A and B are shown apart, each in its own frame.
Chain A
Amino acid sequence: MEPTNTEAPEYFHKVVDCQWACPAHTPVPEYIRLIAQGRHADAYMVNWKSNVFPGILGRTCDRPCEPACRRGRVDEEPVAICRLKRVAADNKGDVAARMPSAPTQLIGKRIACVGAGPAAMTVARDLAPLGYHVTVYDADTKAGGMIRSQIPRFRLPESVIDEEMGFITGLGLEMRLGERIDSLGALLREDYDAIFVGTGAPRGRDLDVPGRQEAAANIHIGIDWLSSVSFGHIEQIGRRVIVLGGGNTAMDCCRTSRRLGGEDVKVIVRSGFSEMKASPWEKEDAQHEGIPIHDFLVPKAFTHENGKLTGVTFEKVGAVYDEKGRRSLKPTGEPDQHFECDDVLVAIGQENSFPWIERDIGLTFDEWGMPVVDELTFQSSLPNVFFGGDAAFGPKNIIWAVAHGHDAAISIDRFCRGGDLRLRPPPGVLVSSQKMGIHEWSYDNDVSDEDRQKVPLLPIAEALADVKAEVELGFDDPRSWAETQRCLNCDVQTVFAAPLCIECDACVDICPTDCITFTVNGEEEELRPRLKAPALNLTQDLYVSGSLPTGRVLVKDEDVCLHCGLCAERCPTGAWDMQKFVIEMTHAGGGCSK
């Protein structure tokens, strides 16, 4: 193998698994250390800069960082990153003074954001401080989009939404709430310099099986129903409720039902339990509230009597795999099952919907009715119209919407200033040694044995009694401290200087996870299995040095390195050093100065 080029920002960035997995590339270990130091406001600002909604995401994020967390590969469970984010948000105090203020001078460019959800509000946050006049339109009367309409209050209190939306609206935006845009053509004629479309995936998929029309009064589309609950239009549901679907919306529907009078609430899903789209923890939360999940059942018909829903009939299926390993659901031949109920919530997916975009204004749609959007620049076929969030590439989640918003804001800024949209600003990178003494580092290199901390919950009776009572209480100080100590500080990198190495094997002998091998070089496939511990996780890179005096090379498998720094402590020549690698994504307007 060629010697690893650690100068390329991607190399060390990939080692910080959580940050690499986060669509917005939030510097996770950095803010966890700040929480450990009690610097909650600083931790909040690190988050706010990169993911805009720390309080909201600390409760609702899909957490792509956690399955990626290195700790999950050496310990039973990853660090509770998401819940630590909430700790920063809950304990930050007053951060108003740290927020950027509305610019005193505008640059004379006008931007329209359609929708006030996470993508559009990110665009607004990035552009407003640069002097853009940003106008935000939304049909709802409050900013937040799906964050406010679809996420139940017992998971996300309204005060958190209000505060974090307020940080952005305070940047001098023109908020035109309660104003639905019915025509992109008309909006284009208002001569905005650029338009950002962040309208999400607002239409819940319906289920067209016999009985749907006849029993319509008691069959509800999940996201619409959640939205009606959020805005206070619906306050109760029948005693027996069936939720169809296996995603996070289905989990929100069933848990909300339990709080609105549903006593016998069950989730029924086509696929197997383990293949459900819902995050594992959301399934657990639902089950914890006494909601059974029945799997491998395909809805066949709604049964009804005198125009009133009586239940749902299901066909039992099983998973069958073809020779290519593709799964299909085939009837098992068992008799159909009938479940009685008073109400059904249909949560089987969401779709985009663009009835308000005329098809003759030059904006190209693909065969599935989605706008053609550049994946790098988020520009549509109309150069001044940009898309982001669920509106761009279909339903994802909040953190992806934020990442899209940042990228779209960069494009819009370049577009307005006449730059090349395809030239993306490089990230800011800083690498600095953490060495303070022979065995002292400016990070806490001791590895904690603690198990993942559990979030305390409201007693179940209290939780089910009030749809607005937040069910998770968040970590208290001792739990928060214990959880911060579980972070392995993966951003403090092991950096190797081949010219200093005397090949004494001290690092090989001390490494608790057998990451280090000195051996003759070879091709990667041949090298991986013959390392001190076989490097079989192909998603993790090998760090290979140049040739050493004995003709061998150093090979370090990044996979389960604990970043404990013992290799550097036991190195007699300083060939190993622990260096903090800070990488910050450059947002709109950045690139030259910090």
Chain B
Amino acid sequence: MTYIVKPQFHHPSLTTNKLGFTRRDYEGRVSTLCAGCGHDSISAAIVQACFEIDLEPHRLAKLSGIGCSSKTPDYFLSASHGFNTVHGRMPSVLTGANLANRELIYLGVSGDGDSASIGLGQFAHAMRRGVNMAYIVENNGVYGLTKGQFSATADKGSKSKKGVVNSDSGIDLVALALQLGATFVGRSFSGDKDQLVPLIKAALTHKGAAFIDVLSPCIAFNNHKGSTKSFDWVREHNEAVNRLDVLLGRVPVTTAYEPGSLVEVAQHDGSTLLLRKVAEDYDATDRVRAMSYLQERQAVGEIVTGLLYVDPEAEDLHDALNTVPRALNALTDAELTPGSAALAKINAALR
């Protein structure tokens, strides 16, 4: 780790957003991860995304589990709420927090160990319930904190740093999320902020369970030949299906695009997702075709990235449960103790 604090001095041209914050105001403490860790790039992308969507830091709750990736919420948005929970249990804690206070924006940060091994069940249920959150998995295919064993997302046949070949099938969290009903699914690469930052912006503004799988090379244990999560491998096999721009508010699209090459997706919160097609015929609003497309491309060794699926009309857990719109701690005695008449009415309904 670095011993000095990141200096406060900044470039004279550094701009402020609508709230008057600079990008630097969204930073956290200096990372204690290994130098060059992909996770730090993801943290930088989160900082950039929150700055760009004029997010008020106190309105964000960042939750994580255990692992290298789950340490990272300390390294961005120091002025936000944070909860470093139990191994694999971030989705449950986040679900509870969300139910208690739906006025916050929820960001869950997890890793491939935290979400695909110990927390796989938790991950699955958060997705299928449609908890309104952005769920980012920083996926490096390896247990970095315990020195480089394969994780559950390591591809079958890939090699560890010591030369061991992985005999287990890898879990594809994107395929799982699609199958489990996530309403926003993306995949990206820590080394491509042009792609990653808009995805995070869109996920944070999406209503419903938004999942992003971010390939994030582990410099210390998984960046060698034979790894399928190394910088070189991901760069060689990365095939983006589209490029995303996120427009806040109802801003008319002014840039000219070729007919059919641009898809506009209006989100609940008023933002617009502009998808510039890269792969012909890829339709990011068709869940079934997205799933089969991903299987096909994966079979030929491609890593498909981009905004893979979005349901702009998605509903979330609160809609399903018909909960009160306010945070529970903001409810008054009058609402919490409606009186004996109300109790009598409920009891009557049960007779």
Contact = CB atoms under 8 A, between A and B. Distances in A.
B36 A571 contact: yes
B191 A503 contact: yes
B35 A572 contact: yes
B29 to A, nearest CB: 12
Interface stretch (A40-48, A225-233, A558-566): A558-566
Contact of A502 (B10, B12, B31, B231): B231
A34 B342 CA distance: 81
Given A502-B36, A505-B193, A564 B7 contact: yes
B235 A509 contact: no
Contacts of B2: 439, 566, 569-570
B62 to A, nearest CB: 18
A513 B8 CA distance: 9
A506 interface: yes
Contacts of A566: 2, 4, 6
B262 interface: no
A514 B14 CA distance: 9
B7 A560 contact: no
B235 A550 contact: yes
Given A439-B2, A569-B2, A570-B2, A513 B40 contact: no
B9 interface: yes
A386 to B, nearest CB: 44
Interface in A398-422: none
B257 interface: no
A86 to B, nearest CB: 26
B9 A506 contact: no
Interface in B219-233: 219-220, 223, 231-232
B191 A505 contact: yes
B11 A571 contact: no
B10 A514 contact: yes
Contacts of B219: 502, 504, 572
A504 B8 contact: no
A449 B10 CA distance: 12
B40 A570 contact: yes
B290 to A, nearest CB: 28
Contacts of A515: 11
Contacts of B6: 510, 512, 566
B9 A504 contact: no
A194 to B, nearest CB: 50
Contacts of B35: 438, 506, 569-572
Contacts of B13: 533-534, 536
B120 interface: no
B14 A564 contact: no
Contacts of A438: 35
Nearest to A440: B3
B36 A504 contact: yes
A508 B197 CA distance: 15
Q: Is the interface of B mostly helix, strand, loop or mixed?
A: loop
Contacts of A508: 44
Interface in A518-545: 533-534, 536
A573 interface: yes
Contacts of A536: 13
A504 B231 contact: yes
Nearest to B40: A509
A73 interface: yes
Contact of A562 (B9, B24, B34, B43): B9
B49 interface: no
A336 interface: no
Interface residues of B, number: 36
B217 interface: yes
Contacts of A571: 35-36
Nearest to A512: B7
Given A504-B191, A566-B2, A533 B11 contact: yes
B195 to A, nearest CB: 13
Contacts of A460: none
B9 A447 contact: yes
B2 to A, nearest CB: 5
A74 interface: yes
Nearest to B1: A439
Interface in B1-60: 1-14, 24, 30-31, 34-38, 40-41, 43-44
A374 interface: no
A73 B191 contact: no
A506 B10 contact: no
A506 B4 contact: no
A75 interface: yes
A505 B41 contact: yes
A560 B9 CA distance: 9
A515 B13 CA distance: 11
A173 B158 CA distance: 80
Nearest to A533: B11
A56 B2 CA distance: 41
28 contacts: A74-B10, A439-B1, A439-B2, A446-B5, A502-B223, A503-B231, A504-B231, A505-B191, A506-B36, A506-B37, A506-B40, A509-B40, A509-B43, A512-B6, A512-B7, A512-B8, A512-B24, A513-B10, A514-B11, A549-B232, A550-B235, A564-B4, A570-B2, A570-B35, A570-B36, A572-B34, A572-B37, A572-B220
Interface of A: 73-75, 438-440, 445-447, 449, 502-506, 508-510, 512-515, 533-534, 536, 549-550, 560, 562, 564, 566, 569-573
Interface of B: 1-14, 24, 30-31, 34-38, 40-41, 43-44, 190-191, 193, 217, 219-220, 223, 231-232, 235
The 8 closest A-B pairs by CB, nearest first: A572-B36, A447-B7, A509-B44, A533-B11, A74-B9, A504-B36, A446-B4, A572-B219
